[in-house]
Structures are given as C-alpha cells and as structure tokens.
Structure 1
Amino acid sequence: MEKITKESLFDLKSVAQPVQCDEEIFYIENSINKEENRYESYIYSYHLKTGEKKRWGNDSHSVSGLSISPNKKYLSFLAADSKKKQQIMLMPIQGGRAFNLTDEKEGVTSFIWNETGASVYYQTSQLPEEEEKSDFPQSKSWSKLSYKLDGAGLLPENKQYQLKKIDVAFESNSHTILEKDYSFSLKHVAKDESFMLIEEDLDSEDEWRYGSTVYYYDLKDKHSYSLTKEIAEGSFSFGAIKNDNLCLLVGNDFTHGFVTQDKIYLYDIKKATLTCLTENEDLQVGDALISDFQQKNKGVSIEWLDDESFIFPVTEHGKIVLYQGTIQGEVKELYNERLHLTDGVLIDDDSMIVTYSTLTNPSSLGLLNLTTKKIEELYNPNGTVLSKIELSKPEMFWFKGARDWNIQGWYMPPVESKENHKAILYIHGGPQVAYGESFFHEMQVYTANGYGVILLNPRGGQGYGQEFVKSILGDYGNEDYEDLMLGLDYCLTEYPEIDKNQVYVAGGSYGGFMTNWIVGHTNRFKAAVTQRSISNWLSFYGTSDIGPFFVKYQLESDLSDVEKLWKMSPLSHVHKAKTPLLVLHGEEDLRCPQEQGEQMYTAMKKNEIPTKMVVYPESSHGLSRQGLPNLRMDRIQQIINWFEEY
C-alpha cells in the first residue's frame, strides 16, 4: 500500500449539488488540475435504475448552481464565459448542446425558475461606465464602514444590484424587476409571480447595525416588509416554503451575538405570524463542520415533508444529524450516524439523495433511506485511489476540560505505528465551527509523515449546546486554552506511544490566535506554526473586514477599552515566548490581515526566537481550503519542513 502525499490532492475528487430529474441524478464532480493549477468541476448524471454514469459536456471547466427546470426540459447551471463572468446556461435534458441564456457584463450570481419553466429570474449587477483609462496609477477611495470583503477585495460603492427576468424562448427579452444600491439575494418567487422573498440587511441605512433577514416583496405594488419585524435584532435566512404561505426561516435573535444558536422559525404569510419552532431545543441548525477537501457543497436542504412536517440538519457532536420538525413545534431525530452529510435533497417522502464524507472516505454520492436509516452508496469517485493508499484511522474520544466539562476530540495515529512518535496539536478556526467525521487531506498527510494528529473541539465551538458555544465570549485564551492543554494531557496519557518531548502545535484563524497565545503561555511545544492569525485585537479592529463587529460581539469590547483588548492580544504576552515559530499568511487575507502575522513575526524576532514568515500571493483567508493548488502544496511542505527542523 502507498502512503498518501500532499500531491494526492490532485488524484482525489469530491461530489456536490445533486438534483433529481425522474430516474436521473445530476451532480457536480470536483477535481484539481495540476498542470493548469486550477479547480475544475463538471456535470455528471447517475441513473437510479441502470447505474449508468454519464458526463454532460459544456465548454466551461467550472460549473455551479445545478437545477432542473420545472417542466423538466432543461438542466440549468452557472458557468464562466470567455470573460470569466458567470452566466446562466441551459442544456436540453433530452439531448443537445448547452447554450447561454444570459450575457451580462458583470455576470450572474444566482437564478430561480418561475413555476412553468418559461422564464428565469436572475441576479446581476451594474457598474457606471468607466472613464477613459489612464496609464498612470489612480486613487482609490471609500466612505462606508464595510468597504472590503475577504476573497473579493475592495467593494465598489457605486454598484447597482439588479434582479431581472428573462423568457427562455426569447433570450434577448430581459427586463429589470428590482434595483438597489446595496446587495440582496432572491430566495423564492411565488407560483403566480405575485410576490417574492429576498434576503438583505436588517437596516441598509445604519451601517453599524449588524444582521440580515427575509423580506416579502410584492411584485405588483412594490411594497415590502420584513418577516421578522417583531424581532429587533438578529440574523435570518430563507429555509423553505409550502404552498406560498408557510415559510421556514433559519436564524436567531442575537441574544448572544454571533454565537447565538440558529433555530427554525415559521412565518405564516396569510396570518402574518412568526413562531420559533425549536425554541426549547438546544440545537444548532445547519452545518458548522470544517474540512479542507469539500468543494461547492450547499449542505442538506431544509425541506417540507408534508403540509405539517419538515426535515432539517443540525451540527451535533462532530456530525450532521437530521431532524424532523412540525408546525406544532414537535422535534424528533431522524438520522444520526458518524459521517458528514455535505449535501442532501429529498426525492420522495422516504428518500434523500446525499453526498457525504467520513474520516477515511473523501466523498461519495448515496441514497439515504429515512426509514431504514441506511445509505446505499451509488458512486465513489475515489474507489480506485483509496484501494491503493493507506490512511490513518482516527479514534474519537471524550475528556474532561475546564470546569470538568465534557470535550470531544479525535486522535489520528501515524500510518506506520511506532513507539515514541511525534504528534501535532492542530487547533481549528472559527471558533464557532467544529472538527468532525469528515475527511481532512492535510491531517492525513501528516500521519503519513510519521506524526500523530490531535484534533480537539474546545469550548466556543458549535455542536455542544448554547452554553458551550457562548462560554468564551469576552474571555478568549482562558478556559478554551485550558481545554486544549487538558486535551493534550489526556492524549499523552491514553496514547503513551506519543513522545511527550516531540509535540508540536499549529492552527489557523482562531487557531492561529490560539497558537500565538500558546507560545506566550507555555514552552511545552517543540515548535509552532501560526497561520492567517490574530496577534493584536486593537489593530484587527480597524483592519479586518469584520473587525468592528467581531470585536464587539465576540470579545464584548471596542476601542474604548484598550486595556482589555491588549490583555487578550497574544502580542502582549509574546515577551515570554521561547517556542520556534513559523508564520504563514495570505497576502490578500482581509479577514485576518497580513499585518497581524507581521506583528507576531517582529515581536518574536525581538525575543531572538527562531522565527520565519512565509506569505502567499493571490491568497485570501481560505488558502488552505480554496487557495491556488500549488500554494496549498507549498504550505503543507513548509509546515512539515519546520517541524522536521525541530
């Protein structure tokens, strides 16, 4: 058997966005092209009766947004045109070439079919006509609080966001339905096209008011109102609608700021009433699991089962668990297995087409029977590759953290088991996310290189109840740090084959903050790697794309309390550091700007501690997951080289 390598990422594939048309299941298959240094995705279909797999061709190497027209005539999707702008493409299901439905200068971001399949509503944008270009550098300016976004860069303030409608039979016959000078998102169009539901900010006029909600927009009289107007604060999104009346929303009232668990709400349009259906459930609705492998997944859909009940996903103990709810507020568990459901859509009352991952299976397409609670694997794109490589088999455990709380973790032993082996404590980001039962390519590479990998879900992460996730508000680096150290102690006891003198630490984002914090509070690690990190909350406040809101709602502070923010900043403790530190950062990271890594680097150099900084061009905060493939390879090798040096 071969060992997995960092280059194995080019051999492995993932599947996403399944949709059904009669006996045919259409889905996207994602891969990475090493020679072109790019991600690629193509459309395939799987026939439920014959098992036949077929590729559906088009000229684009990247597609998304799969859907079937209501009349089942077309497979529709978004694909880049020659100018690298996404356009709506239609492909006849009965055969024929794909063709462009739109030709928007700024591209299309999303679309929805009308009930008959004769027309499509879609979203685009428009920028003012460019002035004559100069050969000389030009100034840039902004006047809004939210003027940039990680992965997108500076946000143009004069952009117009548009909703248009186009007839399929007359492609040139498109007209604007709605236009705003701020972004919004179309979620539903009524069957009779009398109204639509859109998501947008709670208050577009108040830039310091955080949150979003769903609005009812009357297409005839242009009147609109918020479905959650009785809740002053919060953040809500569209879930599903039944009979153009009963609308399921996912959201929260911001009782605990960013970390308020999302719940299911029901808005009755005819009665104009809003009811929380999971008020008494200590559950986080949605998918908060992290990995570095999945691409273009939408997650399990919230869907109506009948006129009174519905299905919804929950992040729970490192898994995605399916629940059934009713309009009376009854909730029961439907499916709970140790895996990561990455996509899921109902195809009948008892079955779902799903994509899923496990700790040792990157991605599969399957048929989930909700009665038997079994998944029938329909297609595994990695069967041949997996038969040739040996993977680490992670072991799940629970231990006692700070205040004797139960904390969950996983230990990934080296592929070749041996006494006195090295180990890495790898800390996740967020912190309102969680490790779980999902494939992690990077971690498997470390185990193939002789390292054990310790993955812990300390307090502050999702999937363990409201008290657990809100417990670190305004208190970063205290009991969350204690959880991590107690978890390491547990592993060193339970896995005595780990050499306690050869333990390393790494992490990104919040995990980068915690790595920086750790080197200033303990010398028990031989070396450390901090990635896309936070070192100084004071400068983070003014330079991160989410700085003011994150500091306010996570640290419960702002610039009026400099002493508190400085005390919680790793930079204020770095004078005690003795651990060799590698600093990795993306040059286009606007979430945790590069200056955060540079400050940590300079402070460590001042201490005369072995330190190195590596930066990556064309790389935002998501480098380790969606970054340029060659830079992802370099990043993993830099980490291995650093640990090998020490």
Structure 2
Amino acid sequence: MKHTLSILAVAFLPLLSTAQEVTSDKQLVGLDFFAKIKAVSQIKTIGDDIFFVLRQANVKADSYSSDLYQLVDGKAVRLTNTGHFGNYEIIDDAIVTRKTEGKKTVFYKQTKSYGGPQEWLTIPYQVGQVKFVDDTHFFFTSSKKVEREPFPLPDSLKSQDADKRYRVFEDLPFWSNGRGDIQRHHTILYYSDNGKVTALTDSLAGVGSLELSKDARYLVYTDSREHGPKVFGNRLYAVDTKTLQARELIVGDSVRYGFPTFIDDENIFISIGKRNAENPQANSPYYRINVKTGESQYVYDNDFYAIGDGTASDVKSGGRSDILFEKQGIVFKTAKADYSVLVRLPHKGGGVKLLTPSDFNVDEYLPYKKGYLLVGAYGQDGQELFYFDGKNAPQRISDINTSLFASHHIAHPQEISYVNSDGLELRGFALPPIGYEPGKKYPAILDIHGGPRAAYGFGFFHEMQYWAAQGYAVIFANPHGSSSNGNAFANLKGKFGGPDYDDLMSFVDAAIGQTDFIDPERLGVTGGSYGGVMTNWIIGHTNRFRAAASQRSISNWISLSAISDIGYSFVDGYSGTDIWHDSDLLWKQSPLAYADKVRTPTLFIHSDEDYRTPLPEGLQMYSALRYHDIPARIVIFKGENHELSRSGRPQNRIRRLQEITRWFDKYLAQ
C-alpha cells in the first residue's frame, strides 16, 4: 500500500526538462562561475529605502569581498568600500556598524544628514551581542577566556614563539571547525548607563540570544553556564531594564531554550527542546512565555514546517530573518520538501498557509510597505530582491545577478518521482547535460547533500551546473534523514545506511527509468559531510557506480566520536549509543567495516583544519582502499576546514571541483 507524506499534498508546478541548444550568444557555466555571482544578504530598510550586503569571491586575490549597498532605481549602489563589511543594524533611522580594535569596540553611525560613517560610541570591551535601550543605555555581552595555570620556564628557555610550538587541550570539545583550537570561555552580560559599565551576571555565565522587548522594558537571554558533552539544556532569564532585576523563567527541567523573539511588550515566542531519546533529530516545539508572569503556553509543534529551515546552496551567504507577528498569524520561512517558502501560521488554527509560490525560493524576508521585501530566486535564477504583496507572484525589483545568468547556459531540472521501500511517494531531480541530444546516453553523477538534516532544492547549485556544462547528467534527492519532510522522516537513530541508502538506490532506479539521457553503465557518486559518509557506505554495498568522490567524510563512527568537535553528541544522536555501550553497532554502521568489499575507484577530498569530520576519517578509508588494491587518491587542502566547497579560498574551491571532475572524466568518459 502506498503512503504519501502530507508535505507533498500541495500540487507542485511541473518542472520539465527539454533539450537545450548550445548557442554562441551564451557561455557555459565554468569553474569560476561562482566567483561571478553576488550573494545577497542582510536586507534592512529605513522607510522605503532598501539596504543589503553583497558578497563576492575574487579568484585573483584568492579572497572574498563584501560591502553595504542601497537599492536605487533597481540598481545596487555601493555605500562602503571596505571589502570586508560585516554585520550592521538600523537604530533610530541610522545605519550602525562596529569595529573591534584590540580590547575595545568602536561603533559608527551613518545617516542621510551626513556622508560617511561617523564615530559614535566606544565600549572598552570586545562586544558580542548588543541591545540598545537608547543612545546612552544598552546591554551587551563580552567573552573572557578561562585562564590556564601558568607553566613557568627559566628565562634562558623562554622565546617569543614558545607558545606556538605546542598545543594544550583541557576541555571537550578541544577544537571547533572554523575556529581551530578552543579554550573554554565565559560570556558575561553587561549594562552600560551613560558610560558606567556594570556586570549583570557572574564570571561563570554563558550568555546568549539577547532580545529586547518592543517597548525596551524587558531583556531576555539564555545562559549556558553548564559545560560538557553530557550537558543538555540551558537557562532562560528576563531582566527588567528599569530595575535591572533578573528573573529565571522555568518551563521544565533539562530543557534547551532557543531563538526567543518578542511578540509584544511582554510575551516571547521561543523554541523549547527536551532530550528526545526516540528521535534526537526532532525539531523543538515553540511556546509563548509571558516574561512578567512566567506563564507559558504551547503554540506550535515545528514538525513539517520547521521555522527557519531552508535548502542547501554553494553560492549564497545566508541570513536569518526575524519571525513576524501579524494580525492574521505568525509569518516565517521554512523548507517544504525541496524549496524554501514563506508561510503563515494562523492564530486561530487551521494549519500552515503557504504564501509564496512553489517555484520561488525565499532566502530572507522583511515586512515592507503593504507586503514583504524578499531575497530569493525563481527556479535556477540568481538571487535578487523582490517585492511580494502577499497575494500575487513576487516581482523582481533589482538587477544584481539576472544579467549574468541570462548570458549563460543554465540547465533546468526534471522532476523524478519514486516510491521508497516504505511506500512513501517522494521526488528528486535530474539535471540534464547542456545541449544533450534526446535519446543519447550520458554519464550521470549522484550528488548527495550533507547533514543529514539538510535538503536539496530545485535552485541553482554551481557544481551541478558545471557538471551539466561538461556533459554530465546530475541527479539529486532528499533521502530519509533529510529535513523538510517532518520529524519522523528525519529520524535516522540507529538506522544509518538503512532507509537512507534504500531511498537513494530507489531514486537512482527511478531517474534512469524516467529520463532518456542517463547511461546506467556510467554512474558516479559524490557528496560531502553526510554525503561523504553515504558515498563511503555506498561503495561498500554496491558496485553499480564506476567512480566515487568522497568529500569531508566519515569512515569510522568509533574514531569520529572522540576527535570531532561534535563527536560525542552527533554519534549518540544518530546511533543512540557510544563506544563503551555498543561499539559493535558503531562498527557495523561504519563504512570502514566494509572497505574490503569496495571495488569502486574513489577520490577523497579533505581539509587539514576540518574539525567537524577530521582528516583521519578520510585517511582511514583511503588507506583501506589502497591496502586492498583499489584505485584511490586523496587531496588534502591546507588551511581549509569543513566549509571548503562553500566558503573556502576561491582558488582551492576551483581546484576541488577540478579534481572531482577529472576523476569522473577518467572513469566515466567511455
């Protein structure tokens, strides 16, 4: 009997793929196309004026540049020329930016009444979050490292670089992806009153998630002072900004509070998670809490339409939009199966209502005029700014990437529907080669996303479009474990390599059967992070793929649990155990256990500063394949981390894509 996930009940617009003629007036998507794209983020407004940040890779300089822009007559007008513009805020109709200088933070204001930014405020701390009550009263956080006991050396043995010759770990985790070696620190909440700074929490605090009520009467924050891999949960406090008295808000024991947002002057909307032994991947439900009385009320299960969910990309900067509280309901962005959509949760119940169309991906949103200002794109287009009146299709109001995309051949995906082993009706996509001839067979690459709690959408993905331009079909789907199909679908606890593997194999069969351009004898498989783990798993369980490229992967759950920055929690979440309670299960679900069965030539891509899936994970699988005389190659990128394919140095991103493509060329060309 077939079962259909309720999230697929709404009809999708058909995504049809037809042979695309290669013409001389358009270019093919090249290795460096990602560097021509401008990523749009941090949209904000002052009245009708629209501001945003553009970020772009510079291959020659091997770096990225970002600056603040204003939309003027549909064009992006640059307001800063720093090349490394960060976050900004709008306060009293002024653009406020900051710069950390040593142990102090300098804030700058820029308004229409004067030209460039003017120095406004200096705080003698390295400021984290800040919330302004007014120009002279504000709350802020600042972090302080826990100092280690000094290790004295005789003067004759001291040198200026002595501390760079060794690494000392005393905490768990001991390193963090993107940050390197870490030393435990505490984040303290401070209050500044006309320049007089007072600490509101003790030196052991771990303050975060500051939010100020609309009337600036209450400040809420979380405190994660308890530390360690076995600790679950944090604490929630509300501060009366007039008396500075703090009150703990308690909804339950051992709960995790996250993403507080003020609905009005006294009530917050907040996620509250509890340890879920049956489904550790489940989204946390949302509650309403009155900060004055402490009363709480359950509001939303956050299951199928998870607040803030989106789809994966390798060309976007990303930005978080605030939840909106309107008369008709709560408005937020979510991922619905395989696209990002703006939805409304009515106050009176009745289920989530989709606002934006199913062929449009929403990245950010803001209330604007009588509707919404959006960052997003239709189909395979590049990001632009749109005005959405809440009823009709979003209308593009900028030209940031449109001309670039119009000048290139862009492949469009064909929808692939399939039924998995559980009888669930799912869908994935097949991207045909540019200029393919109907009926002719082409090599195909199965591209598996990371996560696994993530999702591919039908939007633009550079690596896929590059492969399509090189004569490959690319197929991709969201198997069990992915987000955007509900909590039950995302649950892989103790089942890794089971339903997710079955889903992918069913999808590959369907893609071959529903297209006329895939050669079933020339299949490749690749993926990064979870996609790398699954690539390692696949080659140990089937020989249907003639080549594989495993990126930033995991090969051994036992070793990963002890060396990854999220090792213990991640392994427990997906296996439900640890080394000491069930090492047999961890080994059984480790791709390395099946390396002796691999016959697929495999390329491994890894980075030496990847602390999420550390380098030994790639080396173990590579060594095992070479030990068993299977063709293998490992490319290790120096100075890169887990984010190589998305935000690594541009020249390294190009080399990575070259390595993968050449590997597939070698084994799939004929």
Is TM-score (shorter-chain normalized) higher than 0.5? Answer: yes
C-alpha distance in structure 1 between counterparts of 2:474 and 2:125, whole Å: 44
Give matches, 1:222-621, under 5 Å.
222-226=245-249, 229-255=250-276, 256-279=278-301, 282-295=304-317, 297-306=318-327, 309-327=329-347, 329=349, 331-337=351-357, 338-348=359-369, 350-370=370-390, 372-418=391-437, 419-470=440-491, 472-559=492-579, 560-621=581-642
Q: Which moved more, 1:402-411 or 1:134-143?
A: 134-143
| Distance apart, 1:607 and its partner CA | 0.7
C-alpha distance in structure 1 between counterparts of 2:132 and 2:459, whole Å: 33
Q: Deviations over 1:532-572 (max 9, x none)?
A: 10000000010011111111111111112111100000000
1:374 counterpart SS class: coil
Partner residue, 2:208: 185
State yes or no: 1:135 paired with 2:161: yes
Partner residue, 2:31: 6
Partner residue, 1:55: 78
Give matches, 1:61-72, under 5 Å.
61-69=83-91, 71-72=92-93
Change (3 A) 1:617 1:212: farther
Change (3 A) 1:328 1:265: farther
Q: Give 5+ residue unaligned stretches, structure 1.
A: none
8 A Cα contact 2:558 2:586, kept in partner: yes
C-alpha distance in structure 1 between counterparts of 2:146 and 2:232, whole Å: 28
8 A Cα contact 2:103 2:125, kept in partner: no
Give matches, 1:27-38, under 5 Å.
27-38=52-63
| Distance apart, 1:280 and its partner CA | 8.9
| Distance apart, 1:182 and its partner CA | 5.0
| Distance apart, 1:190 and its partner CA | 4.0
Q: Which moved more, 1:124-133 or 1:632-641?
A: 124-133
Read off the aligned partner of 1:534 and give its amino acid letter. Answer: I
Change (3 A) 1:205 1:499: closer
8 A Cα contact 2:543 2:598, kept in partner: yes
| Distance apart, 1:317 and its partner CA | 1.2
Read off the aligned partner of 2:171 and give its amino acid letter. Answer: K
| Distance apart, 1:120 and its partner CA | 4.6
2:394 counterpart SS class: strand
Change (3 A) 1:373 1:110: farther
C-alpha distance in structure 2 between counterparts of 1:399 and 1:161, whole Å: 49
Change (3 A) 1:188 1:315: same
Change (3 A) 1:580 1:88: farther
Change (3 A) 1:396 1:166: farther
8 A Cα contact 2:387 2:397, kept in partner: yes
State yes or no: 1:161 paired with 2:184: no
Q: Which moved more, 1:396-405 or 1:566-575?
A: 396-405
8 A Cα contact 2:608 2:637, kept in partner: yes
C-alpha distance in structure 1 between counterparts of 2:508 and 2:305, whole Å: 28
State yes or no: 1:20 paired with 2:45: yes
8 A Cα contact 1:537 1:566, kept in partner: yes
Partner residue, 1:209: 231
8 A Cα contact 2:273 2:284, kept in partner: yes
8 A Cα contact 2:417 2:510, kept in partner: no
State yes or no: 1:122 paired with 2:140: yes
2:86 counterpart SS class: strand
Q: Deviations over 1:314-350 (max 9, x none)?
A: 22111223332355555430414223211111135x4
Partner residue, 1:151: 178
Partner residue, 1:196: 219
C-alpha distance in structure 1 between counterparts of 2:215 and 2:449, whole Å: 47
Q: Give 5+ residue unaligned stretches, structure 2.
A: 1-25, 151-157
1:562 counterpart SS class: helix
| Distance apart, 1:126 and its partner CA | 3.7
1:259 counterpart SS class: coil
1:76 counterpart SS class: strand
| Distance apart, 1:286 and its partner CA | 1.7
State yes or no: 1:89 paired with 2:108: yes
Change (3 A) 1:403 1:352: same
Read off the aligned partner of 2:161 and give its amino acid letter. Answer: D
C-alpha distance in structure 2 between counterparts of 1:270 and 1:129, whole Å: 38
8 A Cα contact 2:226 2:234, kept in partner: no
Q: Deviations over 1:560-605 (max 9, x none)?
A: 2111100000000110000001011011111101000000010001
How many equivalent residue pairs?
627
8 A Cα contact 1:309 1:324, kept in partner: yes
Q: Deviations over 1:175-208 (max 9, x none)?
A: 555454454224213466554111343x615651
8 A Cα contact 2:381 2:402, kept in partner: no
Read off the aligned partner of 1:249 and give its amino acid letter. Answer: I
C-alpha distance in structure 1 between counterparts of 2:544 and 2:125, whole Å: 52
| Distance apart, 1:62 and its partner CA | 1.9
Partner residue, 2:96: 76
| Distance apart, 1:213 and its partner CA | 5.7
8 A Cα contact 2:283 2:303, kept in partner: no
Change (3 A) 1:588 1:103: farther
Change (3 A) 1:57 1:179: farther
Read off the aligned partner of 1:263 and give its amino acid letter. Answer: P
8 A Cα contact 1:44 1:54, kept in partner: yes
C-alpha distance in structure 2 between counterparts of 1:480 and 1:135, whole Å: 49
8 A Cα contact 2:356 2:394, kept in partner: no
1:123 counterpart SS class: strand
Report percent identity of matched pairs. Answer: 26
Q: Deviations over 1:440-480 (max 9, x none)?
A: 1111111111111001100111111222111x211100111
